[in-house]
């Protein structure tokens, strides 16, 4: 008898578009660019412009130090007695200064995040119930002097709130026309301040969006960069086509710094690994190992339905999906578990499992792992005897491609049936069996 030197299974995943996808951002903490930031804890009293939030200084410090997004949301509620006593004008200001306002930019879908906070922040919910809310909100919007960087980012948040469906549906025609007038005026001022030619077509687009009942992003009129994408496609490990997008622009350096500052002043014990960018999002980072595409959560079903990934218990996972449309990679540290994920168009961040924006739904998570392949069969052989080798688990949706890298006079293939190979060895040469994943819906197995 002769011992087969080794029977080895190596599961390697390659993508059909692998040569077109950039490598993922380096998450080695020893390798950081000058923009990477380690968060330090500190006082929160100077972080919130609104008088109401400054008066709640101790709670705001508690919010910053909390490593649970749901707890941050609970702490950033307006006291019910204050809520009843507050005038609509003061309530609008308190909502504008909402400590978690910037978090909507850390989501794949900013309008979803806006709706989330309208439903879960009692200040915005109360505004929605007041008859004079739209009037006061438009007056406040008109009073804003559109600035740059952090101020324009907060105004962009206010734009989202004012134009989300819940509030837009309450507008009268008079209020709608007044908002359109403000938008047009502000857009001209921003373009002129940047020495740009005012785009009449762009102004019309904004006006049409508002009139047609869509959910427009009015960030452009306040100077905050809005993303532009071109549609493309990529593939799952087994070759299924998924829709994704390539960014045509990006944040300015100042805007990236503003986003990083917000995060460092709101979240403790996290590490920023890569700066904010439109180039990729959490799903692409976790499921495609890429930093050059943007993909929405609706496409994830193709990765875990008849493909490489499967749901699993928490202790076995490598990818986690938050039910608020967010994906993360799981890593085990020496003494704790942590995740790495891209926060919307914000930075790539190392964080504890629940230390994320509340809109992700931190406690509502599903876990996934790659399907583990193994190969079974004898590790000894007798010349001329038939042997069976099997790849498990059997995947009915996959194809199996066996190939031999030996001279044909050293073996005889008896039969191949998908994942099962029957073979005879005809001499005393040493063989090894190597299994690799090829591009597309194919499992390629080689004998050397």
For 46-80, the pLDDT digits (tens) are 344 567 998 888 888 999 999 999 999 999 999 99
Q: Are residues 366 and 403 in the same domain?
A: no
- For residue 70, what are the CA distances in angstroms to 48, 173, 246, 359, 367? 20, 38, 32, 9, 20
Of 170, 192, 222, which residue is a domain's last? 222
Q: Is 154 inside a domain boundary?
A: yes
What pLDDT sits at residue 442? 54
Q: Are residues 210 and 252 in the same domain?
A: no
Domain with 420 in it: 2-12+374-447
Output the average pLDDT for the chain: 78
Distance CA 372, CA 391 (A): 10
Residue 264 has pLDDT above 60, yes or no: yes
pTM for this entry: 0.78
What pLDDT sits at residue 129? 95
Q: Are 94 and 137 in contact (CB under 8 A)?
A: no
Could you report the per-residue pLDDT of 265-287, keeping only the tens digit for each? 999 999 999 999 999 999 999 99
Q: Are residues 125 and 166 in the same domain?
A: yes
Residue 390 has pLDDT above 90, yes or no: no
Domain count along the chain: 3
Quote the tokens at residue 292.
């050059």
- Find all residues with CB under 8 Å of 123, minimum gap 6, and list them: 77, 78, 83, 91, 94, 95, 98
Of 190, 207, 222, which residue is a domain's last? 222
Q: Is 47 inside a domain boundary?
A: no
Q: Are residues 246 and 307 in the same domain?
A: yes
Q: Are residues 206 and 244 in the same domain?
A: no
Q: Are residues 146 and 182 in the same domain?
A: yes
Distance CA 144, CA 147 (A): 9
Q: Is 67 inside a domain boundary?
A: no
Q: Is 379 inside a domain boundary?
A: yes
Residue 32 has pLDDT above 80, yes or no: no
Q: Are residues 143 and 270 in the same domain?
A: no
Q: Are residues 237 and 362 in the same domain?
A: yes
Model confidence at 7, pLDDT cuts 50, 70, 90, reads: very low
Least confident of 116-120, 224-228, 249-253, 299-303: 224-228
Q: Are residues 384 and 366 in the same domain?
A: no
Q: Are residues 136 and 213 in the same domain?
A: yes
What pLDDT sits at residue 212? 54
Residue 360 has pLDDT above 90, yes or no: yes
Q: Is 41 inside a domain boundary?
A: no
Q: Are residues 215 and 295 in the same domain?
A: no
Of 222, 245, 271, which residue is a domain's last? 222
Exposed, middle or buried by CB within 10 Å (0-12, 13-18, 19+), for 347? buried
Q: What are phi and psi of 428, to 5 degrees?
A: -95, 15
Q: Are residues 192 and 272 in the same domain?
A: no
């Amino acid at each position: 008898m002769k011992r087969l030197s080794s029977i080895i299974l190596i599961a390697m995943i390659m993508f059909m578009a692998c040569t077109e996808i950039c490598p993922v951002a380096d998450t080695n903490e020893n390798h950081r660019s000058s923009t990477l930031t380690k968060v330090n804890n500190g006082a929160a009293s100077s972080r919130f412009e609104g008088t109401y939030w400054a008066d709640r200084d101790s709670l705001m410090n508690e919010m910053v130090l909390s490593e649970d997004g749901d707890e941050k949301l609970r702490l950033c509620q307006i006291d019910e007695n204050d809520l009843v006593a507050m005038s609509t004008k003061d309530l609008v200001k308190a909502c504008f200064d909402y400590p978690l306002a910037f978090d909507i930019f850390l989501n794949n879908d900013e309008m979803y995040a806006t709706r989330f906070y309208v439903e879960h922040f009692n200040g915005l919910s109360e505004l929605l119930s007041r008859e004079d809310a739209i009037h006061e909100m438009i007056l406040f919007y008109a009073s804003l002097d559109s600035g740059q960087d952090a101020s324009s980012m907060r105004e962009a948040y206010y734009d989202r709130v004012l134009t989300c469906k819940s509030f837009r549906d309450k507008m009268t025609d008079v209020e709608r026309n007044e908002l359109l007038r403000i938008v047009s005026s502000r857009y001209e001022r921003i373009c002129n301040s940047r020495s740009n030619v005012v785009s009449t077509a762009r102004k019309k687009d904004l006006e049409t969006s508002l009139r047609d009942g869509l959910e427009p992003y009015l960030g452009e009129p306040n100077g905050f960069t809005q993303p532009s994408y071109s549609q493309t496609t990529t593939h799952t490990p087994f070759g299924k086509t998924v829709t994704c997008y390539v960014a045509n622009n990006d944040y300015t350096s100042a805007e990236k710094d503003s986003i990083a500052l917000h995060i460092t002043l709101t979240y403790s014990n996290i590490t920023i690994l890569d700066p904010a960018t439109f180039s990729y999002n959490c799903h692409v980072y976790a499921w495609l190992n890429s930093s050059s595409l943007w993909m929405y959560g609706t496409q994830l079903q193709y990765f875990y339905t008849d493909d490489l990934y499967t749901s699993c218990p928490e202790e076995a996972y490598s990818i986690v999906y938050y039910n608020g449309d967010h994906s993360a990679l799981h890593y085990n540290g020496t003494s704790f578990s942590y995740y790495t994920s891209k926060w919307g168009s914000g930075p790539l961040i190392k964080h504890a499992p629940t230390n994320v924006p509340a809109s992700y739904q931190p406690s509502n998570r599903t876990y996934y792992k790659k399907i583990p392949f193994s190969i079974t069969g004898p590790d000894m052989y007798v010349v001329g005897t038939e042997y069976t080798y099997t790849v498990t688990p059997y995947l009915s949706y996959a194809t199996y491609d066996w190939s031999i890298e030996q001279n044909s006079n050293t073996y005889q293939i008896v039969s191949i049936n998908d994942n099962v190979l029957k073979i005879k060895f005809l001499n005393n040469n040493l063989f090894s069996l190597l299994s690799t994943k090829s591009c597309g819906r194919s499992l390629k197995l080689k004998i050397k």
